Homo-oligomer: A and B are copies of this chain.
Amino acid sequence: MTETPRQRQHRQTMADILQYAHQQLATEGSAGLSLRAIARELGLVSSAIYRYVPSRDDLLTLLIEESYNAFGDAVEAAETRCHRDDLGRRWLAIGRAVRRWAVANPAEWALLYGSPVPGYHAPPERTTAAGSRVPILLLTVLAEANLEPSPDDPPMTAALHRELDRLRPAFPGDLKPEVFARGLLAFSSLCGLVSLELFGQFTNTVTQFPAHLDHQLIRLGAVLGLPDPD
């Protein structure tokens, strides 16, 4: 089942397209992504690109999936390096890795967590699996922490209960709905923190704030109910 030269060449061109697309994403932003420019770069005429990619939107979908996976890889790798017992540290590592990856790949972050792209409407469900990796990692940490609901937790609606039941198979242990909700809040907060920094909401005002991310993460860890890292 070895691949023919033709298949190999096709695969290589496809990889070149994706590689240059990422590069273009970084320099021009998601809206500047141009199939014609990619074709030019590869020494192809513009129409030839369509042998590889059905449309610009499909290319974007591929990029989104790749980015989600690169993002998930980076965060999971960082989390894995922590002692399993130090749950506060694992959360801190997740938060730090999220920001680090975002700062290193701002265009990709914008693609994943920024406003939906130009005319691009349906981030198809294929991407949701890849997109769930980081939130699921966070929830896994919470599940392992075996946190209990606290009196501060707001009451859960039946609808939210049902949705959690659907997701429960995704992570081990016993995640209480209240803790699940805390986790979503923490993940949202983290995204907000990173996005505001990256999208320039802090420029000219509180440029030093993002440097305090560790402190904010620890504070959010407290909201989660996790202990401070050792």
Contacts and interface: CB of A to CB of B under 8 A. Distances in A.
Contacts of A172: none
Given A206-B163, A208-B163, A219-B152, A29 B116 contact: yes
B193 A189 contact: yes
Interface string A11-52: 000000000000000001111100000000000000000000
- How many copies of the polypeptide does the oligomer hold? 2
Given A191-B192, A192-B192, A200 B29 contact: no
A204 interface: yes
- How big is the A interface, by class? 35 or more
Interface of A: 28-32, 110-111, 113-119, 123, 125, 128, 131-132, 152, 154-155, 157, 159-160, 163-164, 167, 181-182, 184-185, 187-193, 195-196, 199-201, 204-209, 211-212, 214-216, 218-220, 222-223
26 contacts: A28-B119, A31-B118, A32-B118, A114-B199, A115-B199, A125-B204, A128-B204, A132-B205, A152-B219, A154-B212, A154-B215, A154-B216, A159-B211, A160-B209, A163-B205, A163-B209, A167-B206, A181-B209, A181-B215, A181-B216, A184-B206, A185-B216, A187-B196, A189-B193, A190-B192, A192-B192
B110 A116 contact: yes
A113 B152 contact: no
A27 B189 CA distance: 29
Pairs A-B, 8 closest by C-beta atoms: A192-B192, A114-B115, A31-B118, A154-B215, A110-B115, A189-B189, A188-B192, A191-B192
Nearest to A206: B163
A6 B184 CA distance: 56
